[in-house]
Amino acid sequence: MARIRFDRVSKRYPNGFVALADLDLDIADREFLVLLGPSGCGKSTTLNMIAGLEEISSGELRFDDTVVNDVPPHRRDVAMVFQSYALYPHKSVYENIAFGLRMRRHDKAEIDRRVRDAARKLEIEPLLERRPNQLSGGQRQRVALGRAMVRQPQAFLMDEPLSNLDAALRISTRAEIKQLHQAMQTTFVYVTHDQAEALTLADRIVVMREGVVQQIGSPDEIYEAPRNTFVAAFLGNPPINFLEGTVSIGDAGAVFTRGDIALALPEVFLPALREQGGREVVLGLRAEDVLEEAGSDARRLNGRVSSVLPVGSDQFLGVETSGGLVFLRVGKDRRHREGDTVAVPVNTGRLHLFDKASGVSLRDGLVSAA
C-alpha cells in the first residue's frame, strides 16, 4: 500500500457541522502531498481519516484497491508524526524510538539495528541515552521522525510537525524532511498552514477551505495559476494585491482600467473576456511582478509611496494608487522615501484576473467565462 484514494469522502458531526465535504483525491505511490489551508479547513481531519483516528461519515477511503473505512489504526501500516512530538518523558531517546517496535514484538537485534540506523540518518546518535527534557525542540522533532522511520511504514503522516520550531530551525528541518522522503521512497502526506513549507516540500499541494478543496496542483501551478482569489491570497509574501476595476476590449486586446490605471492583460484571459467589455473584475498583482527596468512603452502603476520596508536584499513599497494601497517588492538600490510620487513599471504578462462576483479565475484553460 502506498496509493491512497478518497472517493467522495465526507465527515459530518452530529451537530450538523461538515468538516469535510465530498473529497475526491488520489495520492500517488511515493508522492509528497501537502494539505494546505487555514485552521478549520479540514486538512487535519483528512489526515486523521488516513490514520484511522477519525470515522468517515460517507464515501470510501482506499489503500491501493482495499477499502479501509473500518480498518483500525494499528492495521493500516502508516506512521504519524504529531505537532506535539508525543514523546514519553520518562524514556530515553533510544527507548522512544524503539517503543513501537517492541510493542510489535520485533527481535531485539532487529530493533537495535533499526534504531541505530535511523539515529545515524537523523544525526542523533549521541543523544540516544538522553531524555526528551534534555533535548532542544529540533532534536525532539528528529526523535519523533526516527520513531516513525523505524516502523518502515508505507505512508508517513505529518500534522504541523514544524510549528513549534523557530524560523531558522524550520528551514533546516524542512530540508531534512525532503531528504528523508527522497531516501525512503515512501508516500508522505503533510498538513500545514505555512505556505513556505508547502511550496518547499510538496510534489503536489491541496489547498482547502471550510472542508472543500479549492485547488490541487504542483507548487508552480498553485502559485502561478490560482483558480480563485482565496488560493491567490493564501500564497505569497506579502499577499497578492487585489484591485477592482473593469475590462475594456480593443484591437490591441483586453485592458484593465481603474481610475488612472490602465494595464494590458495577458492573452490567456482573452477567451473568457471576448465581447465582455465593461465586465467587473478583480486584478491580481503579486508584489514581485514589477520591472526593475522598462522601456518607454511599459505599463506603469502610478501612486504615492506611503511606506518603505527594507527586507534584506529587497524592500517593500506601500504605494497609494487610485485603486487603493498596493505593496510592491523592489530592489534595495531604488531610493524611495515616504511621500515620493512613483511610476513603477508592471510585468503585465504575470497579471492575474478574477471574476468580481464569484472570485473565480478567468485564465484560459482553468475556467469558462460563465
> What does the pLDDT read at residue 313?
85
> What does the pLDDT read at residue 202?
97
Q: In what order do the strands lie in the sheet containing 314-321?
A: 324-331, 314-321, 300-311, 341-345
> What does the pLDDT read at residue 210?
96
- Give the residue among 270, 229, 227 at the shortest CA–CA distance from 250: 270
> What does the pLDDT read at residue 368?
40
pLDDT in tens, 290-323: 987 665 556 888 999 999 999 888 899 999 998 8
CB 348 within 8 Å of CB 264 = yes
Which amino acid makes up residue 246? T
CB 145 within 8 Å of CB 124 = no
Give the HSE-up count for residue 43: Cα atoms under 13 Å, Cβ half-sphere: 26
- Which CATH class, in words, describes the domain spanning 4-233? alpha beta
pLDDT in tens, 115-163: 999 898 888 999 999 999 999 888 888 898 899 888 888 899 999 988 8
CB 129 within 8 Å of CB 143 = no
Q: Where in the chain is the domain with CATH 3.40.50.300?
A: 4-233
Cell of 159: 500534522
How high is the mean pLDDT in each 10-residue block of the chain (370 residues)?
A: 91 95 96 96 96 96 95 90 85 93 89 92 91 89 88 90 82 86 91 94 97 97 96 93 91 85 87 79 94 68 93 91 92 87 90 94 62
> What does the pLDDT read at residue 296?
53
Q: Quick one: DSSP state of residue 361?
A: B
> What does the pLDDT read at residue 370?
34
Give the HSE-up count for residue 214: Cα atoms under 13 Å, Cβ half-sphere: 29
> What does the pLDDT read at residue 20?
97
SS3 (DSSP) at 245: strand
d(CA 363, CA 354): 8
> What does the pLDDT read at residue 171?
86
SS3 (DSSP) at 79: strand
d(CA 327, CA 308): 10
What's the predicted TM-score (pTM) here? 0.89
Q: Where in the chain is the domain with CATH 2.40.50.140?
A: 239-355
pLDDT in tens, 271-290: 888 767 778 999 999 999 99
Residue with cell 545515524: 120
CATH 2.40.50.140 fits 239-355, yes or no: yes
CB 80 within 8 Å of CB 54 = no
End-to-end CA distance of the chain: 41
d(CA 228, CA 209): 12
Secondary structure (DSSP) of 284-346: EE-TT-B-SS--TT--EEEEEEEEEEEETTEEEEEEEETTEEEEEEEETTS---TT-EEEEEB
Residue with cell 499577499: 239
Q: Which alpha helices (DSSP H) does the chain contain, by range? A: 43-51, 93-103, 108-121, 137-149, 167-184, 195-201, 219-224, 229-234, 270-273
